[in-house]
Amino acid sequence: MALLSEVLTEANGPDVVIGRVGLAQLAVVVPDIDPAVLQQLARRVRLAIGQLDADVDVVVVARGGPDARSGSPLWAARVELDRERRRPLQERVHQLEAALGLSPGAEAEIATLSRQLDAALDAAHRDGLTGLRNRVGSELLLASMSMPCALAFVDLDDLRGFNSSAGLYEAGDEAIRRVARAIAGADPSAAAGRWGGDEFVVAAPGLSARDLGERLADVLDRVMDEPPIAGRTVSFSAGVVEVRDRPGLDGAQVRAQALLQHIKQNGLKPAVRWEA
């Protein structure tokens, strides 16, 4: 953080405003920055990050609204430390905040820009149809999931039939949304995402494959009891496995998808199958 604050300040001189916007987040607001200077700033930040290795989690450079005082556009860059390293750095962050100081009104301005950047990042990781995490958001979720956990791949049954029965994909979209809502509530600890098309992923830290499998089986029963869509009963199938540690994540995904394929290829759907 100290290195990055020095780089950001040096890149644009005394007009730069730096402040803390979170436990271990450092933000900079620069009024009316020239695009060439912005590129120079970005290069210097990247060089600084190279010296910090895994310390840096997120760096965003974006154009904000006009400065309330000058009317000039503002550029903001936010640097955030890896979550696992925030707690031991808390005291150092407070020292930096006190040492840097804040211009009048800058703290609120930075906080607003930070919220806008957070919203943009969240939107980039959300699926527009279901509101769940999209593929990128799901992959980030799995990469940061506490271990051990239960992992499930879920597939909506007969999406093609829903689409062909209605002709314009409305029925298929509604079936996807129904399954998404259902699996998202499978367990309080579970997190769900849309992996792509009619496929979803569910991860639940601390649960066994059997625990999550039984919860998804209950969800399946409730979904099948709901009114049909375009004359068809909505159902899904799922393969559930256990992930003991992060190195085993890739293999667990393969095993869960293999269970799902076994259900589909052997005419067993709708069904939920699990293995340790």
Q: What is the pLDDT of residue 23?
A: 40
Q: For the purposes of burial, counting CB atoms within 10 Å of the CB of 8, is it exposed (0-12), middle (13-18) or buried (19 or more)?
A: buried
Which string of DSSP letters, residue by residue, matches 222-236? Answer: HHHHSPPBTTB---E
How confident is the model over 130-177, as pLDDT tens digits?
999 999 889 988 988 999 999 999 999 999 899 887 566 789 999 999
**Contact status, residue 119 vs residue 130, Cβ threshold 8 Å:** no
**Ranges of the chain with pLDDT below 70:** 1-111, 113-114, 117, 166-168
> What are the boundaries of each domain within the chain?
2-124, 135-274
How confident is the model over 210-231, as pLDDT tens digits?
999 999 999 999 999 999 999 9
**Contact status, residue 200 vs residue 153, Cβ threshold 8 Å:** yes
- Return the CATH superfamily for domain 135-274: Reverse transcriptase/Diguanylate cyclase domain (3.30.70.270)
Q: What is the pLDDT of residue 174?
A: 94
Token pair 């703290």 is found at 107
Q: CA-to-CA distance for 169 and 33, rounded, in angstroms?
A: 47
Q: CA-to-CA distance for 51 and 49, rounded, in angstroms?
A: 5
Q: What is the pLDDT of residue 269?
A: 92
Q: CA-to-CA distance for 176 and 194, rounded, in angstroms?
A: 9
* Residue 196 Rama label (left phi>0; alpha psi -120 to 50; beta): left
Q: What is the pLDDT of residue 208?
A: 96
- CATH, range 2-124: 3.30.1360
Which among 105, 117, 91, 102 has a CA at the least distance from the CA of 18?
A: 102
